[in-house]
Amino acid sequence: MNKLLGRVAVAALATAFATEAMATEWNVSLWGKRRAFTEHVEKLAELVSEKTDGAFTLNISYGGLSNERENLDGISIGAFEMAQFCAGYHADKNPSITVMELPFLGIETLEQETEISMAVYEHPAVAEDLARWNATLLMPSPLPQYNLIGMGDAPEKLADFEGMSVRATGGIGAAMEAVGAVPTSMSATEVRQAMDSGVVKAVSFAPHAHMSFGTTENADWWTTNLNPGTVNCPVVANTDALNALSDDEREALMSSIDAAMDHYIDYYNNETMAKWGPLLDEKGIQRIEFTPEQLAEFKSKAAEPAAQAWIEENAGRGLPAQELYDLVTGMVANGS
C-alpha cells in the first residue's frame, strides 16, 4: 500500500511539474500606475487567462522592467514579451506611426482614433518599420486631444505662449513651437518634478495623465479647447514570442483585443472624463477657452507646415509618407 501511495504521489508531482512547464508566462512592461491608459492591457491579461484556464498569463509590471523610453529597445532584445510605448518618445525609432501624432488631424473620438490607428498599424510599411525592433503592433492606446495645464498667468491669446516652456512631445511639440512656445520632451514620470522646480510652466497631457501624474496639484489654468493633437502609444509584442505561442494561445490573445479595446474606451469615457470637470472645480483651476478665430490662426501656423515637413522627412527615410498621411486624412474626411 505504501508503495502504491508513493507511486501515486510521484505521478501527481510529475503531472504538476509538467503542467507548470507547459504554462506560458509573458512579462509586460508598462509605467506609472494602473489607470485608464492601461485598462486595455489589464483587460487583455484577464481575458487571456480566462480563455486558457490560467495556462497563458500576462504578468504586468509598472516600471519594474524598463523605463518607458526604453520599452521598444527591451522588446527588440526579448527582455520582455509585451510593452506599451509612445511614438513621440523616440520618433526616429518608429517614424511610420508618428503620422498619428501630427497636429490638427481632426480625429474626434476614441473610437475613430482606434479605427484609424489600426489601419495604420496594418499598413505593410508600418509593419516593416516596427519589424526592425522585432515588434508586432497589437493595439493602440487611443487618447482624446491633449490640452495644456499650467502655472502662473493664464494665456488669453496665442501670443501669450511666446517663450513659455511646455512639456510636449511629437507633433504637439511642433504645434506649440509654431506659436512661440519652447517645447521640452520628457517622460510622463518626470513631469511633476519639472513643474515643481519650474523647469516647465505648462504640460500637455490628456486628462487621465494630468490626474495620474499630479499636474493638477499646483496648476492655475487649463486650456479647454486648444486641442493641438494627441500622441500615439501602441501596445506591441515581441515577434519571436508571438510566433512561439501555440495556436490556442495565439487565438486567446488575438481574439481578446477587440473586447479589451471596448473596455478601454468605455472606461475612459465613463470613468475618467466623469472625474475631470469636478477635479478642476475642486482645485480652483481656471478654464481657458480660445475663440474660433484664435484656433484657426493656431491651425494655420501649425498644421500644414508640420504635415509637409513630416512627409518630406519620412519620404527621405524611404517610407511611403504621403500614402500614410493620405490614409489618415482620408479616413478622417470619410468620417471613419
Q: Per-residue pLDDT tens for 5-17?
A: 455 444 444 444 4
Opening angle at CA 253, ends 247 and 257, nearest 5: 140
Q: Could you tell me if 167 and 205 lie in one domain?
A: yes
How far does the chain reach from its first CA to its final CA, in angstroms?
71
The number of folded domains in the chain is: 2
Q: Could you tell me if 55 and 157 lie in one domain?
A: no
- Is 309 inside any structural domain? yes
Starting at the edge strand found earlier in the chain, the sheet holding 135-139 runs 56-62, 24-30, 82-84, 235-238, 135-139
pLDDT confidence of residue 16: 46
- Is 279 inside any structural domain? no
Q: Are 195 and 218 in contact (CB under 8 A)?
A: yes
- Is 93 inside any structural domain? yes
Which domain range does residue 176 map to? 147-230+284-333
pLDDT digits (tens, 9 = 90+) for 169-214: 888 898 999 999 999 988 888 999 999 999 999 999 989 889 999 9
Q: Could you tell me if 153 and 262 lie in one domain?
A: no
Question: Would you state the cell numbers that stand for residue 164, as one nine-digit string?
Answer: 513659455
3-state secondary structure of 241: helix
Residues of the chain with pLDDT under 70: 1-21, 336
Sorted by sequence, the CB contacts under 8 Å of residue 127 that are 6+ apart come out as: 121, 136, 137
State how far the Cα of 325 lies from the Cα of 310, in Å rounded to an integer. Answer: 9
pLDDT confidence of residue 127: 98
Opening angle at CA 204, ends 227 and 282, nearest 5: 90
pLDDT confidence of residue 10: 47
pLDDT confidence of residue 145: 87
